[in-house]
Amino acid sequence: MTEVEYLSATEVLHAFRRRELSPVEVFDAVAARADAVEPKVNALLERDHEDYRAAAIAAAARYAGTGGPPRALEGLPVVLKEEHAIEGRSLRLGSLLTGDEPAGETHPVVERTLAAGAIAHARGTTPEFSCAGFTHSRLWGITRNPWNPDYSPGGSSGGSAAALASGTAYLATGSDIGGSIRIPASFCGVVGFKAPYGRVPALPPFNLDVYCHDGVLGRTVADVALFHNIVQGQHPADHVSLPALPIPEDLGDVRGLRVALAVTLGDFPIEPEVEANTRAFADALKTAGAVVDEVTVPLGVSLEQLEETAFAHYGSIMAATMGDDPRLTGYSRQFLALSAAAFARTGIYGGLEGEATVQRALAQVFADHDALICPTLGCLGFEAGNEYPDGIDVAGRHLEMYMLATLTPVFNVASRHPVLNVPSGRAPNGVPTGVQIVARPYDDVTAFHLGAAAERELRWWADPAWRPQI
């Protein structure tokens, strides 16, 4: 039987409504689990901020018929990425440069999560200013991957993904400017959704950055669909936010869908184990009834040119505002230096030219395919605490910048594509691998149908063997 802390969010909520489980019982189980594993993982912040057990008692009363009807996430333990502001609470962003001044407003994703009755019993760790694909900082220390503590859970939503894999949350929030939802979801063997730009509302000014996406993570496709339906849609704080596109509960019918399988994009190097797991994922979709064609995707730019395009964009927004304070981590200084230099060389127009080339290459794939599947990362993990100042080796090739081991920034450039990361297997070091399911621009539902179909075939968290042995 599945342990309470590893039930899916939808299973827990159904059990609450049937009075088979109590929110108090579930909260106590998750709290005990966090007490046991947090010394080894270090994913959670502010567990002692308030009396969360009292909130669980109040949720139990709602299910018993007093205090108002239960809301969509009533009594469910959820982790909020620390980057998501909560009015009156600190917003440190993983940095020694910030103080304890409280945030002046609440992020729309947090607002909607709390309004749905979730118990936000902790906040998730991040790297400094969420500018890394791993999660450690001078402020909060090293967050480790529950599957193998020698490795990072990825970043920047690393605390969120690690909590899900650890059994210390049922759902979690994240954000993604270069893969910060999908990278940790992949390394932690969970599901994460980067919605198309504008679908999930954000706070100014970053709501106007087309690379920026706020979103959600969970252990199953259905859980992520449930949570995404709660946080998506127009919000008065975000004037460019899009109307909601509800994800149906009945997911997984992929018969006749035409899917392009790309074992890499452009010239990204891919480890053989990642390729094998991606092909196995494609076979699962074939079994489910999809038509899968293997394709090559020449992005029209080299890996280095793609890096220049992305970092020019980051530099146009961030580089001039940060400075070079000695309290910054090495990876933050590297990020700022690279982005400032790329913007100085390329400028806004040159960056747009690079983006247009990538968009054109993807348009050719989607001219006759409903979706594209490709690896989330080409490597088998990032070592915990390693900042990779000299780059990383992947599949026999040295990459000067470790983020070139990730295929995720392609879809921050092509930001109107919805992308669902789902597990594809595990590497020999125990770290999970993931696949990006990329649907046509704004076609969120197709990505979820394909994810649910693959999940049905491969089982993942439905299999008690798919658990980190912390």
Catalytic center residues: 81, 156, 180
- Fill in the amino acid letter for 287: T
* DSSP H or E stretch at residue 453: helix 444-458
If we measure between CA atoms, which residue out of 229, 232, 252, 196 comes closest to residue 416? 196
Alpha carbon distances (Å) from 275 to 270, 398, 451: 7, 18, 18
Asked if 432 contacts 187 with a C-beta cutoff of 8 angstroms, the reply is yes
Bridging pattern class, strands 119-124 and 44-45: antiparallel
For residue 264, the tally of other CB atoms under 10 A from its CB is: 18
Strand partners, 421: 192, 436
Here the contacts of 362-367 (C-beta below 8 Å, separation 24 or greater) are 362/297, 362/410, 362/414, 362/417, 365/260, 365/262, 365/295, 365/297, 366/440
Strand partners, 433: 425
Which residue is associated with the tokens 């770290």? 431
- Report d(CA 77, CA 354) in Å as an integer: 42
- 3-class DSSP state of 421: strand
Chain centroid to CA 468: how far? 19
Please give the angle made by the CA atoms of 257, 413 and 401, to the nearest 5 degrees. 115
